Structure 1
């Protein structure tokens, strides 16, 4: 049986070999491009009906469909501090601005967190005279801590 990691490698190679963009793959299943990309890279289960479409487009063996539909082991990076420059910049930005973001969330919403489960993310390109800008939007539901549940 082929592992999820092996299928992810096949997806990356097949996408490049076929000249497909992540956007084309997302459009084929009617899902957001960031979600689709993350799913194809192993971070979300892909419903079988979408898996069949993607496997066909990528020219992968049909046996990949049930593996893609399985609930993955999410998260994790190869190193504690990311070394890929793009991912490291997000790490760096959270080191610098994470405390401020946390304070502002608490000030504006109360004691709680932003959900990464009830969540969407988008990546957009914004033209700018000094060079195009990367706009990343995290859109997560606010989940208040419920300390009264701990009392019961």
Structure 2
């Protein structure tokens, strides 16, 4: 599995999955041994079967009431499924995927705006900070605001492309 991954986000996803793996194995083995389907567990816990499947595949966090229900249904000791309570870091999905998507979708428009404001320039990712904050939307909903703050760096102009003898002092001949 490790050779298929290639980013820090993937490393975090692997660590998240590894932390959950023992609890996932116990829960899924118990479900198989008892012959319980996602449908049956979902019905018992008053959740759609796909939500149960997402929890038992490590792709959704386990909430307290669902944990109690599943541990009871699977005849597991209370707390056995605690590792599934934390939100998982997902491969190529979730926040990382959406950040890539936002940049992919809006980067051409942002580049056009940057050109209009700064000429032929880019934003530095070296002289750079990111601010992530929670804000309240117009309907009272919780929202995420991410501010990229980077120095505007102009590309070189024609002046930087003059022949060397026009820019450099001539070396004395021997």
- Under TM normalisation by the shorter chain, which class is it? 0.3 to 0.5
> Over alpha carbons, which structure has the higher Rg?
2
**TM value normalised by structure 2:** 0.42
